[in-house]
Amino acid sequence: MTVPPHQTTSHWLIRISQVFGDLTGEILSVLGATVMKKLGSEYYLIQLEDASLLWDSKAAKYLRWKLPVHHAWPCNPEKMPGFVEKAATTLYQKFSDKDFQAIFMGPIEGGLANPYYRKLASNLRGRTLQLFPKEIAGFKEIEAQSSTIGTLFCLVGQEGLYAGVQSPKASNGFYPGGTKFVSQGSSSTISRAGAKIAEALHYLLLDRSLPKPASHWLELGASPGGMTSELLSRGYQVTAIDRAPLDARLDQAGNLRFIQADVADFRPDSKVRFDAILSDMNGGALEAIAQSIV
């Protein structure tokens, strides 16, 4: 693979999810990486001789996110007076002549981050956007980015600030670090499955457009309704099938038809069209598809 544009650096920020922690040494070895520093629990600042290995090696599939480091400021922001103003000014000086579509920033530890760093990332982005042209400053919706055009991504944490320009697709995600933080603590959260479908749709968007609002989804194995709730919140219609009931909070949900039955016994009306299928059942994808075309 030809290394995507903007990567005129040998320094990279990569993320290896903790679930693959036991493989970290092997992953870094395959990449031929020299570790400069570990950041947080999952990030590594590395030096590479051959950046194409980030996409073309057997280790590539284990990388949750990757970013060329075009600017690094190792420091402790909490102990740095005027950090936001200094960092924003430096980012403008370093990147004002670069071509990119948007600026997005996040904490190094993602959803586990100290609230201080989540707020710091937000404040830093707000101040930085004040310095850049309105076309960039006006970019609000993170998933509205083109997946193939460069974005200035920045991560900030107790280890400092790390920034680079790369397309979301090459980075493996629209969000800084590759992950959208989905809170599981609110009363409206039915189950963690809502975060699973949110992440799946995020990845799908890197390669193709999502089904349009009001599209009709067939959801197989829907109980208790975490994914159902997420689809409804995005403006979709849902026909949900499961032997177990859905959460009572979905009883009055609009655009939802729930059929309490075994998926194997479900026969869709020949006059009803589904635009997408979501299956959270055990078994292969072809088995799930078969249920919708019988």
Return the sign of the alpha-carbon dihedral for residues 106, 92, 165, 79. Answer: negative
- Residues 243-272 have pLDDT tens digits of 999 999 999 999 999 999 998 888 888 889
Q: List, in order, residues 6 or more apart from 186 with CB less than 8 Å away.
A: none
Domains, the chain: 11-178 (3.30.2130), 194-293 (3.40.50.150)
- Residues 155-186 have pLDDT tens digits of 999 999 999 999 999 999 999 999 877 655 44
Write down the pLDDT at residue 284: 67
Tokens of 2: 């030809």
Phi and psi at residue 127, to the nearest 5°? -70, -40
Confidence of residue 35 (pLDDT cuts 50, 70, 90): very high
Task: Measure the CA–CA gap between 67 and 133, rounded to whole angstroms.
Answer: 23
β-bridge mates for residue 162, sequence order: 72, 155
- Residues 42-90 have pLDDT tens digits of 999 999 999 999 999 999 999 999 999 999 999 999 999 999 999 999 9
Average pLDDT, the chain: 90
- What one-letter code names the amino acid at 212? K
Strand order in 151-157's β-sheet?
71-74, 160-166, 151-157, 103-107
C-alpha 288, offset from chain centre: 26
Angle at 267 between CA 264 and CA 272, to 5 degrees: 140
Mean per-residue pLDDT, 126-151: 92
- pLDDT at 6 exceeding the cut of 80: no
What percentage of the chain reaches a pLDDT higher than 90?
Answer: 73
pTM: 0.84
